[in-house]
Every structure is written in structure tokens, then in C-alpha cells.
A and B are shown apart, each in its own frame.
Chain A
Amino acid sequence: MRPLDWVVLVAFLLFSVVFGIRRGRGTRDIRAYMLANKSMPWYAVALSIMATQASAITFVSTTGLAYADGMRFVQFYFGLPIAMVLLSIFAVPIFHRLNVYTAYEYLEQRFDLKTRVLTSVIFLVSRGLATSLSLYAPALILSVVLGWDVRLTIWLIGLLVILYTTLGGVVGVNWNDFQQFIVIMGSMFVALVMIIHLLPNDVSFGEALSVAGVMGRLNAVDFSFDWQNRYNFWSGLIGGLFLALAYFGTDQSQVQRYLTARSVAQSRIGLLFNGLAKVPMQFFILFVGAMVFVFYQFNPGPIFFNPIEEQRITTSSLAQEYERVQVEYREAQAAKGERIRNWLAVSRLDNPAAESRARTELQAADQKARQLRSEALGLMKQNDPAADTNDTNYVFLTFVIRYLPAGLVGLIIVVIFAATMSAISSALNSLATSSIVDVYKRLLREEASDKHYLLVSRLTTVGWGIFAILVSEQAARLGPLIEAVNILGSLFYGTVLGVFIVAFLLKRVRGTPTFVGALVGQAFVIWLFQYTTVAYLWLNVFGALAVVGAAVLLAFLTRGRKV
């Protein structure tokens, strides 16, 4: 980081805190603190929804996924637009009409108190842990790539977010999400332009696409079906639909975004905009990763992108062996670069046979480089079986630090901070809201002044912030972090979604069958996760269906009784 980068970063952080606090001025009661007095326009709702979902992991890990595995992760979002339509039809009018503060509040009227408490506690536990992970992940990545202290980064981001979320309330959070999301997307766009600019002069943009394509990095859609395959069309469309329904329809961190809208119409337009923009946005981020991959085909890149893990092997007894593999890898990469240029040259001629030969040679060179990388990873595992050999989280930032000019590096670090802050601020705001509305006000102190509830809400926001900081300090290393967050969500989301499906669609099923159905569904999901290899996106589907099935069966068996 050079001085200009620091200026950019510090300016952004100061601006965010001041902006959040100023926007939230005038928050004098809990309706303003939690629902912004239902005053938000659709565009603020839409971008706040998108910013809340997109944490730093989204930008750092997704680009790395495209580098390593291509663009098939985009399919994960295919179910999202359908979910936005369904939520606009079923959930939004009900939540608005009933004037609820949390999604779980609705469940008490529809079912009973225990179902409300169960779902809100599931939310508080899962979102509390996920928020800690969202805070820990970027701190870890910045520590590895820039050598920053993990604890310091966690505390810095955590305290800044606590400051403006506590003082600014939901208005400060939503408007900050709005500005942060614009900064994020603008910065990523500038980064993409820069990456393309850094490609060799004799390689056109079209040829860069061809290189990424021939090496399997533009595989956006895969219609083959496989239960174990995490990212194909079917898991994305069906599993992604259920995940998006659960996340946007039952997770208070998202529901609260559109509950702040001026009207049903503004909420709906915000959600539908998210449905329209999310898939192209993810495609764009993955595309950035694919272009980083192309860049490294013409420029020397490391065999492994996590410098801390690499340092461990280079200071071990296997250092010599690792160095040999590194040297061979560099040679193989150089040879591959030549093969790419050869393939591009032949492709310009109208000679299919020569093109096919050149393509085969290129793929063989790529295979050789991949084998050497596998050998290097094998050595790391041999040196330490617990070594983290997944470096997807470090690819993009390593590129940024090494190749982007001063100022732009700071801008990309701003992306990481902005994405983290927008995700965490919404989460803290919603955790505090559910804690107060579903637990404190409902179970512990039903009658108190609005001033009292506002004060307790602010204190609870601070409490959840400190909780997230302390847990993230203790977080153990996880593999690809974005998947870890989604897996954590998928363990609980199916169950909660099942409860809401029963609530919205099966009017005859009452509280107790639904509550027992939820417990059965949750046990089933944990069993699936522990003892089968079903890809995690399907856990949402099976969890929701198990709850609905069990609730309907119990309702049938107990029909005539008042339960």
C-alpha cells in the first residue's frame, strides 16, 4: 500500500462513518431506528439489499473461483429472480399490511409464540455466527496479502460499523449500503478496465475471451445433473431458488431492508430490481476473475497464491523439492504462454486442422502446469496434513497488489472494507431488531417507554457488534470462505423457509404441527449434512420440504384436535 492508497482508504472510512451518522440523525424512536419510519425509496432498498448480500468474500473469493474453476458459480443465482417474484407476490404485502418489525413477528399471529421464538432464535444464532465469519474472512485475507494484523483489522472494521449502525440506525445503514454498493461496483469496473488494459498489446479482447474459453474459464452454464455437483443449472435454479426464498423471505437482515420501504410497491420494485441485477452482477464479478486468469497466462504468476502457506513449505525439509517444482512450473507456464500465442496465431488463419492441433498442444501444456501445481499442493500436504491448500481467496488481491497502480489498490481495499461494512451493518441492525422485538419486548419487558426501547436497541447493537468481533477473533481457518457462509446458512434456512411456506400457503396447518415439523426438518437436514454427500444447495430444498411434509402429516394425524 502506497500513500495514495492509504488516503483513498482513510477518506472512504471517514466518509462512511460520518455519512451513516448524519443520515440517521433524527432517529428518536424505535420505529425510526428499526423501520426508518417506512420512508425509503425503492432504489435505496434495492441497493441496500444487494450490498447486504454481497460481503467482501463475494468479491475476493468469487474472482478466485473464476480463476480456478471458471464461471459456473453464476448458476448459483439462477433461482434468485424467481424468488424475488414469489416474495413480491406472497411475503411483501403480508409483512407490510401487518406492520411487523420482524418476519418472525408474523409467525406468532399465524401460529403461536413458540414458533416465533424458535425461528427468531435460529436467525439470531445463525446470523450472529455468519456475521462473525463475514468480519473474520476479509481480515484474514488482508493479513495474508498485506501483512496486516488480523485482530487489528477485525476491531477496526467492527468498531466503525458499530459506531454508525448504533447511532444512525436503519436509515444510516441503508443509505450507507447504497453509497458503499455504488463505490464497490464502480471500483470493480475500473479494476476490470485496468486488467484488460494490462493484457499484451497483441492480444485483442476477443482473443482474451477465446483464451479463457479454451482453458475452461468461461463455462457459465452446465445442464448436466449431479446431486454432488455444487454448481450446475439444476442446483442453481432449484436449490438457489429455495436458498434465495429463505434468505430474502425469512432472514431478518434482508426482510428489514424492504420493510423500510415507503410502500408495498416500493418494496416490490426494490426486490424485483435485485432479481434483475443480481445475476448480471455476479457474472461481471466472475468475469473479472476470468480476465485475471487470462492475464496470468501471459505474465508470470505464483504456483500458489497464499504466501503464508508457501512460506511454511519453503522453510521446511521439503523446501528443495518444492523449489524444483516451482522452477518446472515457471518453465511450464512460459511454454504454455508460447502455446497460447501459437494457438491464437493459427486461429486467425482459416485452417481448422492446424487450429485443432494447436489447441491440443495448448491443452497438453495447461495439463502439465496443472500437474505441477498439484505436485506442489501434495508437497504442502505432505509437510503438514492440515495445510490449507485452497488459495482461491488470495488470487485477486495478490494480482491487485502486484500489478495495479497506486490509488487503484486503495480503491480495491475500499471494496473489501465497503462490502464487509455493508454486510455487517445490516446484520447488526437486524440482530438488534429481532433481539428486542422478538425476545426482549415480547418475553422480558412488554411495557416500557419508547425511549427505553430505543436505548436498549442501541445497546443491543453494540452487544452484537462486540459478539461478532470476539467470535471472529476465535474463528478457525475455513476452506473457501464464501461456501462456508452459504453452507452455514443452508443448515438452517431450509427449516425456517419450510415454516414460512406452511404459514403462507397451508392455512389449515396450525402452530404445533408446524413447530414439531420444524424440529423434524432440522434434524433431517443435520443428518443429510453429516451422513450424505448431497451438495449443500439441496439442503435448503430438502429441509423446507421435510418441514412442510412433517407439518402436513402431523396436522392430518391430529385433525379435529385443537393444536
Chain B
Amino acid sequence: MAVDDEVDPSAEEEQPPFGSWSHWYLAVLLALVVLIVLFYGFTRAFG
């Protein structure tokens, strides 16, 4: 079970179901920005 016993060949770079991984990463970061803006708006509107 040492790490150098074997390298899993199936673990080579795989593509996501659609788009590229950088699109997926960008989407998550963009969602974070949108959420922060929404929360900030929420704080300003009600807080």
C-alpha cells in the first residue's frame, strides 16, 4: 500500500461532463462573488 506501489492510469486528466475545468472553476468563483454581492445588498437593505 505504499504510494509508489502503483499509479492509477485511469486517474489521468479527465474532462468534466461539459465545458472545461477552468469553466467550472470560474463558475464557482463567480457564484461566490454573486453571493457576496447579494449578501452585502441584503445587509444594506435590512441590516
* A interface residues with partner B (beta carbon < 8 Å): 70, 74, 78, 81-82, 84-85, 88-89, 93, 96-101, 105-106, 108-109, 209-210, 212-214, 216, 218-222, 233, 263-265, 268-269, 272, 275-276, 279-280, 283, 437, 441
Q: Are A268 and B7 in contact (CB under 8 A)?
A: no
Give CA–CA (A480, B1) in the complex, Å.
41
Name the residue of chain A whose CB is nearest to the CB of B37.
A221
Q: Which residues from A are CB-within-8-Å of B12?
A: 97
In chain B, positions 1-45 with a C-beta closer than 8 Å to chain A are: 1-8, 10-17, 21, 24-25, 28-29, 31-32, 35-36, 39-40, 42-43, 45
Known contacts A97-B11, A220-B40, A268-B21; A441/B1 CB under 8 A: yes
- How many Å lie between the Cα of A85 and that of B7 in the bound state? 24
Residue of chain A at shortest CB distance from B33? A81
Contacting residue for A99 out of B6, B24, B29, B36, CB 8 A = B6
Give chain B residues whose Cβ lies under 8 Å from the Cβ of A276. 28, 31
- Contact present for A279 and B32 (CB under 8 Å): yes
Contact present for A221 and B1 (CB under 8 Å):
no
Q: What distance in Å separates the Cβ of B41 from its nearest Cβ neighbour in chain A?
A: 9
**Interface residue from B3, B4, B32, B47 paired with A213 (Cβ < 8 Å):** B47
What residues on A are CB-neighbors of B1 within 8 Å? 101, 105, 437, 441
B25–A109 touching, CB < 8 Å: no
Q: Does A221 lie within 8 Å of B46, measured CB to CB?
A: no
Question: What residues of chain B have their CB less than 8 Å away from a CB belonging to chain A?
Answer: 1-8, 10-17, 21, 24-25, 28-29, 31-32, 35-36, 39-40, 42-43, 45-47
Do A97 and B39 form a contact, CB below 8 Å, given A70-B47, A108-B2, A265-B15?
Answer: no
Interface residue from B4, B28, B35 paired with A85 (Cβ < 8 Å): B28
Is A221 a contact of B40 with CB atoms below 8 Å? yes
Q: Is the CB of B32 within 8 A of A221?
A: no
| Known A81-B32, A263-B14; contact A89-B8, beta-carbon cutoff 8 A | no
- Starting from the known contacts A220-B39, A269-B17, 4 additional A-B residue pairs (CB-CB under 8 Å) come to A88-B25, A96-B11, A108-B3, A221-B42
* A216–B14 touching, CB < 8 Å: no
B28's contact among A101, A210, A220, A272, by CB below 8 Å, is which?
A272
Asked if residues B28 and A221 are in contact (CB atoms below 8 Å), the reply is no
Give the docked Cα–Cα distance between A398 and B45 (Å).
30
CB neighbours of B28 from chain A (8 A)? 81, 84-85, 272, 275-276
> Please, how many angstroms separate the alpha-carbon atoms of A505 and B39 in the complex?
34
B43 touches A81 (CB 8 A): no
Complex contacts, A222 vs chain B, CB 8 Å: 43
Q: Are A210 and B16 in contact (CB under 8 A)?
A: no
Chain B nearest Cβ from A343, distance in angstroms: 14
Which of A84, A108, A216 contacts B47, CB < 8 Å?
A216
CA A275 to CA B25, docked complex, whole Å: 10
Set B8, B10, B16: member contacting A268, Cβ < 8 A: B16
User: Which residues in B have their C-beta under 8 angstroms from that of A213?
Assistant: 45-47
CA distance A93 to B4 in the complex (A): 15
For B25, give the chain A residue with the smallest CB separation.
A85
Q: Name the 6 nearest CB pairs between A and B, nearest first.
A: A213-B46, A96-B11, A220-B39, A109-B3, A265-B14, A219-B47
- List 20 A-B pairs, Cβ < 8 Å: A78-B36, A82-B29, A82-B32, A84-B28, A85-B25, A85-B28, A88-B25, A98-B7, A98-B8, A108-B2, A213-B45, A220-B43, A222-B43, A263-B10, A264-B11, A264-B14, A268-B16, A268-B21, A268-B24, A283-B35
Report Cα–Cα, A433/B16, bound state, in Å. 29
In the complex, A99→B47 CA distance in Å? 49
Q: Which residues of B lie under 8 Å from residue A108 when comparing CB positions? A: 2-3
Instruction: Given A74-B39, A109-B4, A279-B32, check contact A220 B11 (CB 8 Å).
Output: no
Query: In the assembled complex, how far is the CB of residue A56 from the closest CB belonging to chain B, in whole angstroms?
Result: 25
Contact B7 A99 (CB under 8 A): yes
B42 near A218 (CB under 8 angstroms)?
A: yes
Say whether A265 contacts B16, CB under 8 Å.
Answer: yes
> B18 → chain A, closest Cβ, in Å?
11
Closest Cβ of chain A to B35, distance in Å, is 5
B32 to A220, Cβ gap below 8 A? no
A268–B15 CA distance with the chains assembled, in angstroms: 10
In the complex, the answer to whether A219 meets B32 with C-beta atoms within 8 Å is no
Once the chains are docked, how many angstroms separate the CA of A212 from the CA of B47?
A: 8
Residues on B with C-beta less than 8 A from A106 are 3
Q: Are B5 and A99 in contact (CB under 8 A)?
A: yes
Contact B36 A221 (CB under 8 A): yes
Nearest CB of B to A317, in Å: 42
| A220 with B47: CB separation less than 8 A | yes
Residue of A nearest to B46 (CB): A213
Q: Tell me if A272 and B42 are in contact (CB < 8 A).
A: no
CA distance A106 to B3 in the complex (A): 6
Give Cα distance in the complex from A272 to B17, angstroms: 13
Complex Cα gap A218–B47 (Å): 5
